[in-house]
Copies of this chain bind each other. A is one copy, B any other.
């Protein structure tokens, strides 16, 4: 709920606004504001008709829908520098919830639309982000289309390992799961129990080692990758 300070923003050169000239960014800074959310808080709810959009500065979000039984289905994860919010639909389609304590840089849609038409570079940057999001979505579809639970869980672990790595090509060998079992299940279309059992089996087979309930160490990346198909 504070003013902005783009100069010290941790995502200042990765987010969409990074493409702007200094004076353009000053204008964005004028119309946006920082907000913080605690783990589990809902940022936008499906059906909201007071549309907002935002860049994630720190933390992590999930985009999710809930069926009639209240079962959560996770449609996408959002990482820092990611952009969320409906720019074109009249109402929000999905729930956006903080996975961890998070900071966002929020804009009213009307203001942001004006900024897009005023600053052509912004449209280009958003297009690039959107293409990236689309690619991530399709990667998830690919993952969920696998028919066996072990392929899905192994694929998710490899995806996390890649995301946790600094170098874009080599996956991290050791990382913490960013999701609960229930969230992993919601992402993969499985149940909590199945995810838990598959992790146990991967450990028993010597493909991974576990430290606590969240820590993962990849013991045999090649075999883990091989299960993935």
Chain A interface residues toward B at CB < 8 A:
63, 65, 67-69, 73-76, 86-89, 93-94, 116-117, 120, 123-124, 126-128, 130-135, 137-138, 140-142, 144-147, 186, 189-191, 229
Contacts and interface: CB of A to CB of B under 8 A. Distances in A.
B189 A138 contact: no
A11 B147 CA distance: 37
Given A75-B142, A117-B124, A127-B130, 6 more contacts: A63-B138, A65-B142, A68-B229, A87-B128, A87-B131, A88-B131
How many identical subunits does the complex contain? 2
A134 B135 contact: no
Nearest to A124: B123
Contact of A120 (B69, B93, B120, B191): B120
A121 to B, nearest CB: 9
Contacts of A88: 128, 131-132
A69 B148 CA distance: 14
A131 B126 CA distance: 10
Given A131-B88, A145-B73, A146-B189, A138 B229 contact: no
A124 B112 CA distance: 13
Contacts of A86: 131
Contacts of A132: 88
